Chains A and B, each alone.
Chain A
Amino acid sequence: MMSFWENLGRRVIQMLTAFADTIVFAGRVFIRIFRRKTYSSAMREVLLNQIYFTSVQILPVFLMVSIIFGSLLIGVVFQLLKEFGITGFFGHVLMGLIVTELSPLLTVLLITLRSASAINTEMAVMKVNREIKTLEMFRIDVIDYLLVPRVINGIISIVLLSSLCSVALLVSGALFSWLIIGMSIDVYTNILLNAANFSDILIALFKCAIYGFFITLIPIRFGLRASHELTSIPIVVSQGMVNVFAAILIIEVLSLLTKLL
């Protein structure tokens, strides 16, 4: 009985400590983003490569997936709205649900599956191969050189890709509204303008930035926890990915709460 409570207490303390460490770590990285000294030529080179790998390489596939998935979703939603006789609310559904909620979520899920797992593994492998130790021995700031470019890349990529995804969804929305409801482009844009809210769009963009920050920071954090054994790599990668998905859910809930408040 005693051991159960001890185990429970130990686990809670470990979780709280890990959460506090992550927040402290996030704070350190966040401060470095705004430091001019951080942006050395080497760091900028890494940042360029990271954006290339995360956003540019994935762009055709991402746009294709966005259009196919978004069109299917919009088609289903419009069809349901028509069946229930509430097509008057489709502007709010399109802006409030699809553009400001589903588009960032879809983007962050795709980027997490492709890039966050890659970053997590890369960091773990560097730790196992003692590359990070070597960088430190050469007095290279690991945070500036490795962490900050990846985090900035995450923020930029998620914000831009999510915006592109929203544009793609709105274009397919115009197509489906014409096909299903027989709505002209003028009426469609007018309804969208009426339904659109600056604050909602700003919240969505801010949420994308937060997503980008954490879906790169958490894999880095867990990657750096790897020991010097190769077997620790899959453990930290799986732990990191689970935590990333938990973070996505928490951010989503917080954004909804922000909207409600």
Chain B
Amino acid sequence: MTLSREFKVGLFIGCTAIIVVLALLYLAAGKGVFENPHAFTVSSKSGDGFTEGMPVVFSGFNIGKVQALELNEKGIVVIKIKIPDRHVKWIRSDSTFILYRPLIGSARIVVNTTNLNSPPLDEKKIPEVIISNDINDTIAKIEPVLERVGRIAENFERLTLSLSDPKGDLNRVLGNAEKITSNLATKKSLVEMAVSDEESVKALNESLKKLKDITTNVDRILTKVDNMADKTDSEIYGKEGALPQVNVILKDIIGKLQILDKTIDNINKISTDASEGTKDLHILRSDIDDTLKTVEDAVRKLDAIIGLKKAPEFKVP
């Protein structure tokens, strides 16, 4: 069966038109054109970064867009967002709205909902949008670096200015160096250039020669002292030296002292004994004294008795 030209053209136009219309309808449905939109209002202190038609994103998926931006009587920016019916479930009372401005790509409002079981967001409630700005963050990080670079550039400029300035420090230093070198070229020595007097230079030279002689003499003396020290060393520390003999004597003395210690101990013991004996003597003395006293008393009594009697006889008991 051969198809007529009219049929083929009609089929082509009809099928293609249907495909195009279906594609557009699918797109419209996907964009939520046929759904009842829910309008929410959020606020921000600044309208910077907000645009009409800006996407509203939840978990990386577009769920709505910014419908309108207004500035209210209090100077606060009021942002009206439109969310299709099938996405309204993601907007809850604890949802936070963040204006995210990435370094690359367009800005968007990101919705974060921690608890999906929380009650739906009241359409009359106006939460505030938190602003997260990659560009500003990056600028804030770069600013100190740029300041430092600026300071370095300023210093560098100052240095180059100083270098290029004929009256600058460097040029003055170079001028002085030139003077020194030219001066040095005309003088016989660096000392002559420093003191600017030939007689002084001669005197300095003579002093230096004398100093040399003195050091030679000092060297000689030191050598002698050194030899003497060597000899003294052998006499004191040698095998036959004084120090070993002193050591022997000291050892002998130590031995004798040890013996003497024992003797002293004995003497101490004897003196202790003598002391104890002296104590006994004292007691004996006191006993003798008592006895003598008693005898004396007895003699007195006898004298008394004898003195009273006519006959100086008496009977001894």
Known: A52-B5, A52-B8, A56-B12. A201 touches B31 (CB 8 A): no
Q: Which residues of B contact A198 (CB under 8 A)?
A: 27-28, 31
User: Which of B19, B28, B55 lies in contact with A164, CB distance below 8 A?
Assistant: B19
Flag the segment in A24-32, A189-197, A218-226 that touches B: A189-197
A157 to chain B, nearest CB (A): 9
**A81 in the interface (beta carbon within 8 A):** no
B105 in the interface (beta carbon within 8 A)? yes
From A48, A156, A189, A193, name the one whose CB has the most chain B CB atoms within 10 angstroms.
Answer: A193
Instruction: Pick the residue among A49, A59, A167 that contacts B12 (CB under 8 A).
Output: A59
B24 to A, closest residue via Cβ: A201
Q: Which residues of A contact B20 (CB under 8 A)?
A: 160, 163
Nearest residue, chain A, Cβ from B20: A163
Q: Which residues of A contact B16 (CB under 8 A)?
A: 160-161, 163-164
What residues of B have a CB within 8 angstroms of the CB of A112 in the complex? none
Residue of B nearest to A194 (CB): B62
**Residues in A neighbouring B30, C-beta threshold 8 A:** 189, 193, 196
Residue-by-residue, is B2-32 near A (CB-CB < 8 Å gives 1, otherwise 0)? 0001101100110011011001100110110
In the complex, what's the smallest C-beta–C-beta distance from B64 to chain A, in angstroms? 11
A59 to B8, CA, bound (A): 11
Nearest chain B CB to A4's CB is how many angstroms away?
A: 51
Complex Cα spacing A167 to B21, Å: 12
For the A-B complex, the count of residue pairs with Cβ-Cβ distances under 8 Å equals 50
Q: Could you tell me if A156 and B13 are in contact, using CB atoms closer than 8 angstroms?
A: yes
Asked if B314 CB lies within 8 Å of chain A CBs, one says: no
Residues from chain B with a CB closer than 8 A to the CB of A48 are 5-6, 9
Enumerate chain B residues within 8 angstroms of A201, measured Cβ to Cβ. Answer: 24, 27
Most buried by A among B5, B61, B62, B105: B5
Contacts known (A194-B61, A201-B27); A52 close to B19, Cβ less than 8 A: no
Does the CB pair B9–A52 fall under 8 Å? yes
Q: Please provide the chain B residues from 30 to 53 with a CB less than 8 Å away from any CB of chain A in the complex.
A: 30-31
Distance from B117 Cβ to chain A, minimum over Cβ atoms (Å): 25
Cβ < 8 Å to B, chain A residues 164-192: 164, 167, 189-190
Q: Chain B nearest CB: distance from A240 CB in Å?
A: 26
SS class of chain B's interface: helix, strand, loop or mixed?
A: helix
Binary flags per residue of A190-219, CB closer than 8 Å to B gives 1, else 0: 100110101001000000000000000000
A56 surroundings in chain B (CB, below 8 A): 8-9, 12
Interface size on A, residues (CB 8 A): 22
Interface centre among B12, B28, B30, B61 (most CB of A within 10 A): B12
Q: Which residue of B lies closest to A163 (CB)?
A: B20
Tell me which residues across on chain A come within 8 A of B55, comparing CB atoms.
Answer: 194
Partner pick for B105 among A49, A89, A190, CB 8 A cutoff: A89
Interface string of A33-63 (1 = CB under 8 A from B): 0000000000000001101100110010000
> Given A48-B5, A89-B105, A167-B19, is A160 in contact with B31 using a C-beta cutoff of 8 Å?
no
Residues in chain B near residue A52, CB distance under 8 A = 5, 8-9
**What is the bound-complex CA distance between A178 and B17, given in angstroms?**
28
Q: How far is the CB of B101 from chain A (nearest CB, A)?
A: 16
Tell me if A51 and B27 are in contact (CB < 8 A): no
B6 neighbours in A (Cβ, 8 Å): 48
Using a CB–CB cutoff of 8 Å, the interface residues on chain B facing chain A are 5-6, 8-9, 12-13, 16-17, 19-20, 23-24, 27-28, 30-31, 55, 61-62, 105
New contact pairs (9) apart from A160-B16, A193-B30, CB-CB < 8 Å? A51-B9, A52-B5, A52-B8, A89-B105, A163-B19, A164-B16, A189-B30, A193-B27, A194-B55
The 9 lowest CB-CB distance pairs between A and B, nearest first, are A193-B30, A160-B16, A163-B20, A194-B62, A56-B8, A56-B12, A51-B9, A52-B9, A52-B5
- Name 29 A/B residue pairs within 8 A (Cβ), A-sorted: A48-B5, A48-B9, A49-B5, A51-B12, A51-B13, A52-B8, A52-B9, A56-B9, A88-B105, A156-B13, A160-B12, A160-B13, A160-B17, A160-B20, A161-B16, A163-B19, A163-B23, A164-B16, A167-B23, A189-B30, A190-B61, A193-B27, A194-B61, A194-B62, A198-B27, A198-B28, A198-B31, A201-B24, A201-B27
